Amino acid sequence: MTATEPTEAVTGVPFTLNGKEYEAEQGELLIEACDRNGVHIPRFCYHKRMKPVGMCRMCLVEVDTGRGMKLEPSCMLPVTPEMKVETESEATKAAQDGVLELLLTNHPLDCPVCDKGGECPLQDNAYAFGPGESRFVEEKRHYEKPIPISDLVHLDRERCILCDRCTRFASDVAGDPLIHFIDRGSSTQVNTFPDHPFSSYFSGNTVQICPVGALTASPYRFKARPWDLDTVESTAMVDATGARVLLQSSQNELVRVLGVDSDAVNWGWLSDKERFIYQATNSSSRITEPMARGGGQELSPVRWVDGLSSAARALQIDPARVGVIGGARLTVESQYAWAKLIKGVVGSDNLDAQIGDGLPAVLTLGLPRTTIAQACAPGGIIVLIGPDPKEEQPSLYLRIRHAVTEEGATLIEVTPRATSLSDIATVSLRSGPGSISQLVANFFAEVGSVEGVSDAALAKVRSLLNTDDPISVLFGRGNLAESGRYTEDALGVIRNSRPNAKFLPMLRRGNVVGALEMGFSPGFLPGGVRNFGAGLENWPDVPQTTGKNCDGILRAAAAGEIDTLVLLGADPLDDFPDSALAHDAFDGVDTVIAVDTFMTASSRHASIFFPAAMFGEVDGTFCNLEGRLSPVRAKVTPPGLCRPDWMIAAEIGSQLGFDMGFATLAELRAEISSTAFSFAKVDWAALDNAEDGPLLELDRDWDLEFGEPAEPPVVASYGMRLIVDRKLWDLGTMTQEAGHLASLSPGAALHFSPTDVQMMDLANQSYVTIDHGDISFDLPFVSDHRVPPRSAWLPARLPGFDVRKLLSAGRSITSVRVRTSEAN
């Protein structure tokens, strides 16, 4: 997708290619200059997004740089003025012939049973450039046929042509150097280190970039042949980065997802979650028909119309007694439809897409927004205040990592624990309990010191930030056991100290930025409208008072002030950080309406369950954390009676006696454009074919008021500060329903700093006891240098222990008492 870049360099480098004159860009590699000018040079090891190695020798061409014709690898050779290149000469062809014959000497010709057969670069190049017949009569090299190198990837070393793509990706791009070459000569092979599986979050990329069938993905092995696949371009919805993907199906079943090289977003890379989560769509546990509780207590199938009319009745109450949670799973179109139903028709403002683990919508909507490309630009300055990007936004993590390791970007990290970026960060600082805003304020102060932070580090940050260059602030909730207020304050400090700072929200849930844009937050209407009084075009009404967020809705429900709770793909019982409050809330409501794909802990309590069509089954639009729109496309038909979410909203609207005004996606999109300001100029028709997707116009220029930062709370001297965040692999519903991903989450264990392990004299033990109120929990623990002293880190939603039992919504920080366990 380089076409978006200027193709005319300011000073072109003239060169001769097959007798014709061309111009290359300054420093452009010969293979790229040839690509751009429509001359294809065969290659295996060259990959646009990785450093060239010149390993396979397939791209040898004859080049004359003034010293006579010589074979040179075009992937390693920058074009120089007056260079003469022959890609079709006898010598070039002989070299190509030779390399292919040599590659095929030891390559098993098992193409008929190889997953890659039909889309294999080795096959293609052998046909196009190869000698046709082999003179190799010896026994081919033999290895044990595919060996699993991780839970997701199999390696067939016989097929491997040693191009160094997977190994380079693992070490250079992902930063997980878990696979490498071993042995020498023709026995050279890719392998893992003993007892260290290739357990990278990005392992699936190696399968995609493998030019032969050496690396295959467990979920796709022997599932389909490439020529049987139907393909559409779509967008991954597992996190807010919105990586661009190809969805591929065979016989109306999703079988594979590939990364699309989008310049603006993911550069072709995907996390394994984005790549393999499609298996949840195929899960046999999907709920495929509407259900309701009849006279009996069991949920049983009902007709759509009966379920819809029951739902309408449950919503025809005092709007203040209706609460709606969720919506980040939905497309922008469905979000609009639901926002209109709840805020415009029902009249309730109790609508929140974040489930107690985010930050106020006004920050995302109102702070000046940057883009991934701007933040990760060469020499840029990135300030990270939030969770570990590798766990929560893995595709974004790869971009940040590249910017820091390859492009000279500066990364200043202010996080509660060391993250996956700490090793490469320019400065990595730990924020103390509730004191992040005080630490950040010190960045912009002339003098001063902060406890627990070295003066040298502080001085370095001051000098790095003492610049007029734009600063990109990536923000999110780094610690769910602490109030989001502190992060909010820290952002306020930066906003006030550096008015030219730009921000990128690292909110976790899929289409959460789209949801906020569509009004899925109390106090907002679609398009970021805050002024309720004016009303909205096409809407019968708007709420007159600001409603409650997720936290507030659950509190009100627990107090008996909410009668009808609508869950839009939300599972607060398993997901809301305060599990006790969530349970109380469910006890306090009359009717739970769940619009979901699976039976979750929460939807199990539903009185009415509407089966929604999900990722891969619906057309729509995704809005990523930059505010960039990209298409979400249906590839397979929804199972059973599942329907897109927006249709369910429209049907409930008509049951309430209101014509929502749209019966098709096109009508819905037209209404969004006329209602939501930020969508006014969106060219919906062009969206499907847009290369990087358009950015919403978000120059909101709001004058955000940040109050005085809160004072850090007093930390109990006996306690250890609890740090709670998320892992990529957890007990989330989608992950658990995506067969091969279900077993990847690590067991719950407390992580202590090695210092604390020593101080608490735990060296020979494996369990500790946590006292929480009257209850005690025995938990395994590990020593982990990423954890600061006097802290205990435990990610949420891991098998073995639900850390949410220790959390209370509204508590500013959480401390736990830890003692030696009798379980040892």
Partner 1 sequence: MVRQSATRRESGGLGVTTHTNDYVPHAAGYVDNEGPKIVTSRFTDRDSHTLERFEATGGYRSIRSVIAGSPADAAQLVKDAVLLGRGGAGFPAGVKWGFMPPVWPRYLVVNGDESEPGTYKDRLLMEQDPHQLIEGCLITCYALGLNMCFLYVRGEMALAQERIATALNEAYEAGYIGQNIFGTDVGIDIVLHWGAGAYIVGEETALIESLEGNRGMPRLKPPFFPAAKGLYMKPTIVNNVETLSNLPWLFQHGSAAYKQYGSEKSPGSRMLAISGHVNRPGVYEVEQGVVTFRELFYGDNYCQGIRDGNDLKMFIPGGGSAPWFFEDQLDLKIEAADVGAAGSMLGSGAIVVMDETTDAVKACLRVVRFFARESCGKCTPCREGTTWEEQILQRIYDGHGRPEDIDLLLDVGSQISPGPYPVAGWESEGMTPVAFPPKQTTICPLGPSSVAPITSAIRRFRSEFEAKIPDPDDSNSDSTNAEVGS
What is the closest distance, in whole angstroms, from the C-beta atom of residue 181 to partner 1 in the complex? 6
Nearer to partner 1, 161 or 238 (CB): 161
48 within 8 A of 4, measured Cβ to Cβ: no
Residue linked to tokens 């990087």: 692
476 within 8 A of 414, measured Cβ to Cβ: no
Binding site for partner 1 (CB under 8 A): 53-58, 60, 70-71, 73, 76, 78, 91, 94-95, 97-99, 101-103, 105-106, 135-136, 138, 161-162, 164, 180-181, 183-188
What is the closest distance, in whole angstroms, from the C-beta atom of residue 42 to partner 1 in the complex? 12
What is the closest distance, in whole angstroms, from the C-beta atom of residue 142 to partner 1 in the complex? 14
Strand partners, 60: 73
What is the closest distance, in whole angstroms, from the C-beta atom of residue 29 to partner 1 in the complex? 11
Query: What amino acid is encoded at 8 in this protein?
Result: E
Residue among 658, 660, 695, 595 nearest 336 (CA): 660
Distance, in Å, from the CA atom of 78 to the CA atom of 26, rounded to the nearest integer, reads 8
Strand partners, 413: 384, 428
Residues in the chain: 824
Residue among 219, 222, 160 nearest 191 (CA): 160
Nearer to partner 1, 51 or 811 (CB): 51
Nearer to partner 1, 121 or 746 (CB): 121
533 within 8 A of 654, measured Cβ to Cβ: no
Nearer to partner 1, 97 or 619 (CB): 97
Residue among 392, 559, 408, 580 nearest 479 (CA): 392
What is the closest distance, in whole angstroms, from the C-beta atom of residue 401 to partner 1 in the complex? 19
Q: Going by C-beta distance under 8 Å and a sequence separation of 6 or more, which residues neighbour residue 75?
A: 29, 30, 31, 43, 45, 46, 52, 54, 59
Query: What amino acid is encoded at 506 in this protein?
Result: M
What is the closest distance, in whole angstroms, from the C-beta atom of residue 68 to partner 1 in the complex? 10
Helices (H), 30-72: 30-36
Distance, in Å, from the CA atom of 23 to the CA atom of 14, rounded to the nearest integer, reads 4
Nearer to partner 1, 209 or 513 (CB): 209
Nearer to partner 1, 177 or 799 (CB): 177
Residue 116, Cβ density class (10 Å: 0-12 exposed, 13-18 middle, ≥19 buried): buried
What is the closest distance, in whole angstroms, from the C-beta atom of residue 258 to partner 1 in the complex? 26
What is the closest distance, in whole angstroms, from the C-beta atom of residue 663 to partner 1 in the complex? 60
Nearer to partner 1, 101 or 691 (CB): 101
Query: What amino acid is encoded at 697 in this protein?
Result: E
Nearer to partner 1, 71 or 809 (CB): 71
Distance, in Å, from the CA atom of 536 to the CA atom of 746, rounded to the nearest integer, reads 48
Nearer to partner 1, 183 or 822 (CB): 183
What is the closest distance, in whole angstroms, from the C-beta atom of residue 51 to partner 1 in the complex? 11
Tokens found for residue 819: 């003692």
Calculate helix-pair angle for 455-465, 436-443, nearest 10 degrees: 60
Nearer to partner 1, 98 or 780 (CB): 98
What is the closest distance, in whole angstroms, from the C-beta atom of residue 299 to partner 1 in the complex? 59
3-state secondary structure at position 4: helix
What is the closest distance, in whole angstroms, from the C-beta atom of residue 699 to partner 1 in the complex? 42
Instruction: Mark 509-535 as b/e (b = at least 16 C-beta within 10 Å).
Output: bbbbbbbbbbbbbbbbbbbbbeebeee
Estimate to the nearest angstrom the gap between the alpha carbon of 2 and the chain centroid.
23
Q: Report CA Rg, the chain.
A: 28
Q: Looking only at Cα atoms, what is the longest distance across the chain?
A: 91
Calculate helix-pair angle for 121-129, 90-105, nearest 10 degrees: 140
What is the closest distance, in whole angstroms, from the C-beta atom of residue 87 to partner 1 in the complex? 15
Nearer to partner 1, 99 or 779 (CB): 99
Nearer to partner 1, 107 or 399 (CB): 107
Nearer to partner 1, 295 or 378 (CB): 378
DSSP annotation of 346: I
Distance, in Å, from the CA atom of 160 to the CA atom of 148, rounded to the nearest integer, reads 14
**Where are any strands of DSSP class E within 500-628?**
502-505, 564-568, 591-596, 608-611, 620-623
Nearer to partner 1, 140 or 681 (CB): 140
What is the closest distance, in whole angstroms, from the C-beta atom of residue 28 to partner 1 in the complex? 14
Distance, in Å, from the CA atom of 150 to the CA atom of 617, rounded to the nearest integer, reads 29
Distance, in Å, from the CA atom of 271 to the CA atom of 767, rounded to the nearest integer, reads 33
What is the closest distance, in whole angstroms, from the C-beta atom of residue 45 to partner 1 in the complex? 9
Nearer to partner 1, 136 or 702 (CB): 136
What is the closest distance, in whole angstroms, from the C-beta atom of residue 188 to partner 1 in the complex? 3
What is the closest distance, in whole angstroms, from the C-beta atom of residue 785 to partner 1 in the complex? 21
809 within 8 A of 577, measured Cβ to Cβ: yes
Helices (H), 249-316: 272-276, 304-315
What is the closest distance, in whole angstroms, from the C-beta atom of residue 187 to partner 1 in the complex? 8
Distance, in Å, from the CA atom of 190 to the CA atom of 559, rounded to the nearest integer, reads 60
φ/ψ (deg, to 5) at 748: -70, 130
Nearer to partner 1, 185 or 499 (CB): 185
Tokens found for residue 536: 């909205």
374 within 8 A of 502, measured Cβ to Cβ: yes
Q: Between the CA of residue 102 and those of 99, 215, 673, what are the distances in Å? A: 5, 20, 58
Strand partners, 623: 629
What is the closest distance, in whole angstroms, from the C-beta atom of residue 779 to partner 1 in the complex? 38
In a 13 Å sphere around the CA of 651, the CA atoms on its Cβ side amount to 15
Nearer to partner 1, 167 or 234 (CB): 167
Nearer to partner 1, 108 or 323 (CB): 108
Tokens found for residue 816: 């736990």
